[in-house]
Chain A
Amino acid sequence: MGTHHHPFAGKVGKPLVKYILKTLWRHRARTFLTVSGTAVAMFVFCLVGSVQQGMSRLTEDTAANQNLIVFQENRFCPASSHLPEDYAAKIQKLDGVREVIPIQVWTNNCRASLDIVVFNGADPTKIQRHRPLVLTDGSWQTFSNRQDAAIVGRGVASRRNISAGDQFTIGSLSVYVAGIFISEIPAEENLIYTDLRFLQYTSGLNMAGLVTQHEVVLNESASPDLVASEIDALLRSGAVATKTRRKSAFQASTLSDLIDLISFAHWLGYASIGLVLSLVATTTVMSVQDRMKEYAVLQTLGVRPSGTVSLVVGESLFLCLVGGCVGTFIASITLFVGSFAIGAEGATIAFRPSLSLALFGVGISLAVGVIAGIAPAIRAATVNIANTLQDA
């Protein structure tokens, strides 16, 4: 007499998967509704997740933690911060400072917006040296040579349908698109860089000699907070008082209203998971309740209680996993194609698809699938076989 086999192991796994699939197929309307509900919820979960990821990238970016932003004290919108450009030379003299980049910022919208256009005007050679940008189209050459040239981040370019060689006009600004760039920092991909002079002359009245902010690149050994307070102390006596912070802290405070909102959105993510759980659990409970007798028969034939658990959990796992994968996949595609970014006051949070997010989505679906199936699985496995068979 052969040794007994666990019904979910080895070669025997295949027929039991077939049994699960056939059972789900028999109730295909219910299966389809559950899978699509799960997909929608996981879609929402992934969108919310990508917003959260975009936000945490602001503070985790190492360059943003080692660079400082010098801004006018008590000013919040780029339009209202005016620092003398020659502060750069003073800051440059401080210990630990490697380079100072005076930047003029122009934005079409100081309020929170999903289609914010932010121009950063700076010295093209400094941009090339300190920003992790890779041109996918156009050339740095054209960017440095033409006064009205701009390089455009992939995110803005795809939202606004801009390509190299175009003339791009917004408000009073009109630039020649010298190139499209990608960046390992997704928020960068929502910026447009121009020459500092160009932006100073176009963006208003008396901007010559003034910039919005100075970005300070520090030596690796320098302590950002220490240098920041040195800068503010140094410039206190100047024409305009400054407030210097790490770039990450600067961005976080600029976006603080949005960040509150976004942090709140994580509840939406939890709610999505709860929705999937209740949806799949309901379907599985219904499916099991309808078929208690079938489980009694299977166990009479010799399927172990553990095998019965596998059958039921397999069902809920399948529903969750298929729905979860579909939702995650569609969300990733949407995020990729849409290049969404939310911005306020010249800072942006980019929502990008990511492998970690996709894996997390699939992992969550897996876990929810198991959890949703446990209670009905235990019911099916512990069914009173004799009584259930007697009930016609």
Chain B
Amino acid sequence: MALVELSNVTKQFTKGEQTITPLDQIDLQIAEGEFVSLMGPSGSGKSTLLNLVSGIDRPDSGSIVIDGTDITQLSRGKLADWRAENLGYIFQTHNLIPVLTAYENVELPTLLLKQTSQQRARRVQLAMNAVGLGDRVNHYPRQLSGGQEQRVGIARAIVTHPKIVVADEPTGSLDLKTSRQIQKLLQDLNQQLGITMLMVTHDNEVASIATRQLLLNQGKFIDGHTSPSVRREGGEALG
């Protein structure tokens, strides 16, 4: 069974008289270790899909089963607990907490888990090293460059060793050079640490680092690359 399994998921929004259906009865499976990129025109529902997988929004119908848990059935509080343990979220703009240092920002998600302070410290250090910021731990977000901030944001997303990491245009507000560094980082995290990722992007080049590309338009996936792409799930990596 795939790590992530969306079945028959529909999401609609009503704006005044008009009803939009960014996600229309879609199915999606993501296997453990996959790196899936999600592209599509603006307003096609990419962020909406990401938010459903993250449990920060709810579908109108359908089920979203992640590692055996149907997260559409969880209460808001239980969803928070579930996210703390299973989800890493990389924002387009880093969204670091400005009053906390880089270290404290990365440490924050670990505080929500039952761990000893040694376990925490080790995980934070690992995550900081993984993003190449081991020497910037005591800086505040405003003292970091855009790329560094995004690295801290990525460290924060992976520090709890989540089941899946989602990213909404993680390079969307970076210059080309920095964007390439972040792409490399994300690719390494997937290939070397085996982190399962779902990433929204507008950029073909960015999408190409993924093992499988999805294209969303008018509520449906185009091309139908909806089955898992890693070897052990039978598919061949497309990336």
Contact between B100 and A19, CB atoms less than 8 A apart: yes
Contacts of B54 in A (CB 8 A): 300
B76 touching A7 by the CB < 8 A rule? no
Q: Are A4 and B91 in contact (CB under 8 A)?
A: no
A16: nearest chain-B partner, CB-CB: B111
CB distance from B174 to the nearest CB of A (A): 15
Contact with B along A1-21 (1 / 0, CB 8 A): 111110100011001101100
- Kindly list chain A residues whose C-beta atoms are within 8 Å of the C-beta of B114: 2-5
B34 at interface, CB cutoff 8 A = no
Residue of B with least CB distance to A302: B84
Distance from B57 Cβ to chain A, minimum over Cβ atoms (Å): 4
Using known A-B contacts A4-B81, A5-B114, determine if residue A389 contacts B156 with beta carbons closer than 8 Å: no
In the bound complex, residues from chain A placing their C-beta under 8 Å from that of B91 are: 297, 389
Interface residues of B in 93-121 (CB under 8 A from A): 93, 95, 97-100, 104, 107-109, 111-115, 117
B residues near A297, Cβ cutoff 8 Å: 91, 95, 97
Q: How far is the CB of A388 from chain B (nearest CB, A)?
A: 10
Residue from A1, A18, A22, A294 within 8 A of B85 (CB atoms): A1
Q: Do the beta carbons of A2 and B115 come within 8 Å of each other?
A: yes
CB distance from B92 to the nearest CB of A (A): 9
Min CB distance, A302 to chain B, in Å?
Answer: 3
Which residue among A5, A11, A301 has the maximum number of chain B CB atoms within 10 Å of its CB? A301
Residue of A nearest to B67 (CB): A1
A123-B89 Cα distance, complex, nearest whole Å: 86
Report chain B residues within 8 Å CB of A299.
56, 80
Within 8 A of A (CB), among B60-103: 76-77, 80-85, 87, 89, 91, 93, 95, 97-100
Q: Is B125 an interface residue (CB 8 A)?
A: no
**What's the minimum C-beta distance from A17 to chain B, rounded to whole angstroms?**
12
Chain A residues with CB under 8 A of B100? 19, 22
Tell me, yes or no, whether A221 is within 8 Å of chain B by CB. Answer: no
B113 touches A2 (CB 8 A): yes
Q: Give bound CA distance, A5 to B110, whole Å.
A: 10
Contact string against A for B residues 19-63, beta-carbon threshold 8 Å, 1 for contact and 0 otherwise: 000000000000000000000000000011001001011000000
Bound form: Cα–Cα A11–B99 in Å: 20
A306–B76 CA distance with the chains assembled, in angstroms: 10
B77 lies within 8 A of A304 (CB): yes
Question: How big is the B interface, by class?
Answer: 20 to 34
Instruction: Chain B residues near A286: list those with CB within 8 A.
Output: none
A386 and B109 CA atoms in complex are apart in Å by: 19
Q: How far is the CB of B37 from chain A (nearest CB, A)?
A: 20
Residues of B within 8 A of A301 (CB): 83-84, 89, 108-109, 112, 156
Say yes or no for A303: interface residue by CB 8 A criterion.
yes
Q: Please, which residue of chain B has its CB at the minimum distance from the CB of A2? A: B114
Q: Which residues of B contact A74 (CB under 8 A)?
A: none
- Is the pair A386, B57 in contact by a Cβ cutoff of 8 Å? yes
Please report the C-alpha to C-alpha distance between residue A207 and residue B114 in the assembled complex, in whole angstroms: 85
User: Does A386 contact B111, Cβ atoms closer than 8 Å?
Assistant: no
Cβ contacts under 8 Å, B113 to chain A: 2, 4-5
Are A19 and B99 in contact, CB atoms less than 8 angstroms apart?
A: yes
Tell me the bound Cα distance from A297 to B109 in angstroms.
Answer: 11
Residue from B80, B87, B104 with most neighbouring chain A CB atoms (10 Å): B80
List of B residues within 8 angstroms of A145 by Cβ: none
Q: Chain B contacts of A25 at CB under 8 A?
A: 99
Tell me which residues from 351 to 392 in chain A have a Cβ below 8 Å from any Cβ of chain B. Answer: 385-386, 389-390, 392
Minimum CB–CB distance from A300 to chain B (whole Å) comes to: 5
Rounded to whole Å, the gap between the CB of A309 and the closest CB of chain B is 11
Contact B56 A389 (CB under 8 A): yes
| B-contacting residues, A1-57, CB 8 Å | 1-5, 7, 11-12, 15-16, 18-19, 22-23, 25-26
Per the 8 Å Cβ criterion, residues 289-322 of A in contact with B are 293-294, 297-307
Q: Nearest-CB distance from A35 to chain B (Å)?
A: 18
Q: How far does the alpha carbon of A305 sit from the alpha carbon of B108 in the complex, in Å?
A: 16
Could you tell me the distance in whole angstroms from the C-beta of A307 to the nearest C-beta in chain B? 8
> Which of B57, B111, B112 is within 8 Å of A385, CB to CB?
B57
Chain A window 322-354, contacts with chain B (Cβ cutoff 8 Å), 1 for yes, 0 for no: 000000000000000000000000000000000
Q: Which residues of B contact A390 (CB under 8 A)?
A: 47
Residue of B nearest to A22 (CB): B99
Output the nearest chain A residue to B94 by Cβ-Cβ distance. A297
State which of A1, A3, A19, A392 has its C-beta within 8 Å of the C-beta of B97: A19
Chain A residues with CB below 8 A from B81, complex form: 4, 302, 304
Whole-angstrom distance between the alpha carbons of A22 and B104 in the complex? 12
Question: If the complex has contacts A3-B114, A4-B85, A5-B114, are A302 and B109 also in contact, measured as CB distance less than 8 A?
Answer: yes
With contacts A2-B114, A7-B112 taken as known, whether A305 is within 8 angstroms of B56 at the C-beta atoms is no
A26 and B98 form a contact (CB under 8 A): yes
- When distances are taken between beta carbons in the complex, the residues of chain A under 8 Å from B156 are 301
Interface residues of B (CB under 8 A from A): 47-48, 51, 54, 56-57, 76-77, 80-85, 87, 89, 91, 93, 95, 97-100, 104, 107-109, 111-115, 117, 156
Extra 6 A-B pairs, beta carbons < 8 Å, given A2-B85, A12-B112, A303-B84: A2-B115, A3-B114, A293-B95, A294-B97, A302-B81, A307-B80
Query: Which 7 A-B residue pairings sit nearest by Cβ, starting from the closest?
Result: A302-B84, A2-B114, A22-B99, A385-B56, A386-B57, A4-B81, A304-B80
12 contacts between A and B (CB under 8 A): A3-B114, A4-B81, A4-B84, A5-B113, A15-B108, A18-B104, A294-B97, A299-B80, A301-B156, A304-B80, A385-B51, A392-B93
